[in-house]
Amino acid sequence: MVALIIFGTRGVRSTVKEGTFFCPQCISEKNYKHKKVTQFFTLYFIPLIPLGNKGEYVECMTCRNTYIERVLHMRPTIDVTEKQAMPSPEEKSERFSEPAAQIAAPVEASSGASKAEILSEKQKAVKKLLIMMILADGRVEDAEIHMFHKVYREICNGVVADIYREIDAVKTENKLPHQYLREVSAFLNDEGKKDIIKASMMIAASDGDIDPSEVRMVENFGKALELKPAEVKEIISSIK
């Protein structure tokens, strides 16, 4: 009998530091954990040899969204017009700024609340992956755009103001979905990864008929994100 040797690589998270920061989604001061993902060589799924730093992210302990480390150096500021030195609460517009520069992104309205347009890594990944799926057949149909907005709103609690500009940007990248997911995997926690699988499955099921090839595609997304097969199958079953 030939012994089967199972080896591979996977990312292992560790906490670098903890503290408080202004979370763009919670819109208030929250606790965070700054985590590092180290790529390990695995033998029989046991991490043995570190291969280097794969990525780092900041995780809000309240909303569980993750952000690039730069979010720790941002702070909320209030726009004050010359005409009115002390605006009312309704007229205040929150923005995020770094010590050296102002972030010029507009406020994004979602579920009746104003949120600065500083996207979490999950929001970025869901948006780009869904667009990649829409572009897979070379056509962009109104029904697909409608479903994109519905899924993004449900999974990310937000809106995309100019979807066609985003589509054009993804077209120019010419990147495969599983390749993209491998790249962003190190900046996502398990909650974010599972939401990405859920969003992709919702898009696959939007026409009312889930093809086996679509299921295999979503399973491959799970592999790229280093999720356990059982976790991916559970999400797929919940949507089917």
**Parallel, antiparallel or unpaired: strands 94-98 and 75-78:** antiparallel
> First CA to last CA across the chain, in angstroms?
40
Q: Counting every residue, how long is the chain?
A: 240
List all residues 6 or more positions away from 129 whose beta carbon is below 8 Å from its beta carbon: 177, 180, 181, 196, 199, 200, 221
Under DSSP, is residue 182 helix (H, G, I), strand (E, B) or coil? helix
Q: What fold does the segment set 121-239 form as a domain?
A: TerB-like (1.10.3680)
Confidence check: pLDDT of 156 > 70? yes
Q: How far, CA to CA in Å, does 231 sit from each of 115, 225, 228, 238? A: 31, 11, 5, 11
List all residues 6 or more positions away from 59 whose beta carbon is below 8 Å from its beta carbon: 32, 33, 34, 35, 65, 66, 67, 189
Residue 110 pairs in a beta bridge with 113
Which tens digits make up the pLDDT trace of 130-141? 999 999 888 899
User: Poorest-confidence range of 86-90, 165-169, 191-195, 213-217?
Assistant: 86-90
Q: Mean per-residue pLDDT for 41-57?
A: 75
| CA separation for the pair 240, 210 (Å, rounded) | 7
Q: What is the mean pLDDT of the chain?
A: 82
The residue ranges of every structural domain in the chain are 7-80+92-116, 121-239
| CA separation for the pair 18, 35 (Å, rounded) | 9
**Stated pTM of the model:** 0.76
For residue 1, the model assigns a pLDDT of 57
Q: How far, CA to CA in Å, does 15 sit from each of 57, 59, 122, 186? A: 10, 10, 19, 13
- Residue 65 · residue 59 · CB < 8 Å: yes
Please give the residue that has the higher pLDDT: either 108 or 119.
119
Exposed, middle or buried: residue 193 (CB in 10 Å: 0-12, 13-18, 19+)? buried
List all residues 6 or more positions away from 154 whose beta carbon is below 8 Å from its beta carbon: 202
Instruction: State the Cα angle at 169 between 201 and 127, rounded to 5°.
Output: 25
Which tens digits make up the pLDDT trace of 65-115? 999 999 998 877 655 444 444 444 444 344 444 443 333 333 333 333 344
Which tens digits make up the pLDDT trace of 184-205? 999 999 999 999 999 999 999 9
